[in-house]
Amino acid sequence: MAPARGEFSTMTLELRPTASTARQVVPVGERVVVRLPENATTGYRWHAEFDDAALRLVEDRTEAATTPRGSGGERVLGFEALRAGAASLRLVQRRAWEPNSLAAELEVELDVRPRG
């Protein structure tokens, strides 16, 4: 039985910027967590582009580094897989006021499978 909407099972796929762009298999209802280095004081932040019929953003937070003062931290983005099928997740690091200021990007193809 799949978890109720908004509830997650214990399996979480966690991705980092060095993750392979190969297709990742995720069951419906599972959570995909992406952790990306970010220093918001530079103006560059991570922005997610995805099909909201396939994925739902359930977490968006920054974990600040503890030392040294003023150093960057990590952006943590969590997504719930909503339906079976292919889903694309594109993350771009850019300044919000400069849409063409791409500093980095990560593209992940998800193969969302029915729970079995």
Q: How far is CA 111 from each of CA 75, 78, 83, rounded to the nearest angstrom? A: 24, 16, 10
**8: in domain:** no
**51: in domain:** yes
- Res 30: pLDDT: 92
**86: in domain:** yes
Q: What is the residue range of 31's domain?
A: 13-113
pLDDT along the chain (116 residues), means of 10: 51 66 85 87 91 95 77 88 95 89 88 89
Gap between the Cα atoms of 83 and 68, Å rounded: 42
**106: in domain:** yes
Domain count, the chain: 1
Nearest to 73 by CA among 98, 99, 46, 100: 46
**1: in domain:** no
The CATH number of whichever domain residue 54 belongs to comes to 2.60.40.2020
- Res 10: pLDDT: 42
